[in-house]
Amino acid sequence: MSELYELPEGWEWKKLDDFTTIKSGKRVPKGCKLSDEKTPYPYIRVTDFSDNESIDTSDIKYITEEIYLKIKNYTITDNDIYISVAGTIGKTGIIPSELNGANLTENAVKIVFDNEAYDKRYLLNFTNSITFMEQVGLATKTVAMPKLAIKRLKEVNIPLPPLQEQKRIVAKLDALFEKIDQAIALHQQNIDEAEAFMGSVLNEVFGELEERYAKVPLFDVADVARGKSKHRPRNDKKLFGGEYPFIQTGDVRNANRYISSHSNTYSEFGLKQSKLWNKGTICMTIAANIGDVAVLDMDSCFPDSVVGIYSEKNSNEYLYFFLLTLKQQLESKATTTAQMNINLKVLQTIGVPLPSIIIQQKTVIYLDQLSTKTEQVKALQAQKMQSLKDLKASILDRAFRGEM
């Protein structure tokens, strides 16, 4: 980090270790499992950390009294601040009072301090600031890194004004952020409505086609096959690090129709263990996130959690739009072990309404036009949301320099 900047009179720089205690959470003992059955002992995971600096209580897990007695020293209260330190790193917040005394995952830490001497909302806001993120090595609020060490957190310097000034700054930030967050929510609503509109159009179009044309099994319309991959560590230099793109489920999920980037590559050895799928192949995820669909914009390999679909005789663009309508249907048929998944037998039950190639092409032209307009609306709304988020970051920076 750059040199600590000059503070207003009455402020001081303090390390977190000077006035807080930072403690890690604890995993459940080996052989023990979390439960959906409610007990007096909730267990908070990183997946429960919401984007609004609190806890999403919709899927809270619980532990038995026996497990609790083994890890009872690793709890959190609403006087503390939590920070995720593994997996998704850098998510911070305060737990709701109804979860007081809940056990905390080993992938997070709690910051404990005197609530009478320091304003916890001031400290929480600081964990969202550029000054904080630079010191802990986070280029953005959440990044992929092995683990955020407690030792590093203890060394973080925070600009501290007197308590009353902390409270004044928090009140000012709350007022400003309330308006900004309302605007962000409206832009997100516009994005959601645009996606819902496109989804309703797809359902309507293919609903009409199903009434007019016979449904043909998907496996008769196109070649359908699972990807191939060896289950090896991602740093296996023999398998990875070559010139052949290796697509994973996240690449499909995050694609805007076309997969034009990749998260890893296969070597010549890796290619021999897998298969190189041609550009233009439709990819569908069948594990974790079921039914995400995108089109390869490059020759690529992918794992068995992705299915490749390609037709020589029919419009692959037509099949792409049709497959977009299947997500909810496929999710309802998924089985759950460690994660949701479906097998090829489920896809064998899918029938495609199959008009002539000319009708397929006309359908694609119509849906392409609507899709382009929808994506333009979403892109504009996303740009406005990002501008508002950048404004919040700028306001925080000013606040912790004593310029508010």
Give burial (CB, 10 Å; 0-12/13-18/19+) of 182: exposed
Res 51 pLDDT > 80: yes
- Is the pLDDT at 209 greater than 90, yes or no? yes
Listed in sequence order, the DSSP H helices in 227-349 are 249-254, 268-273, 316-324, 327-332, 344-347
Residue 6 has pLDDT above 70, yes or no: yes
The string of pLDDT tens digits covering residues 129-171 is 999 999 998 855 444 457 899 999 999 999 999 999 999 999 9
What is the C-alpha to C-alpha distance for residues 303 and 310, in angstroms, rounded to an integer? 17
> DSSP state, 256?
B
Check if 12-160 and 214-354 are the same fold.
Answer: yes
pLDDT for residue 1 is more than 70: no
CATH T-level topology, domain 12-160: Adenine-n6-DNA-methyltransferase TaqI; Chain A, domain 2 (3.90.220)
pLDDT at site 267: 85
Please, which pLDDT band fits residue 256 given cuts at 50, 70 and 90? Answer: confident
Assign 248 a pLDDT band (cuts: 50, 70, 90): confident
Give the residue-averaged pLDDT of 220-228: 92
Domain boundaries, the chain: 12-160, 162-190+361-404, 214-354
What architecture is domain 214-354?
Alpha-Beta Complex (3.90)
Element (H, E) at 293: strand 293-296
User: What share of the chain in percent tops pLDDT 90?
Assistant: 75
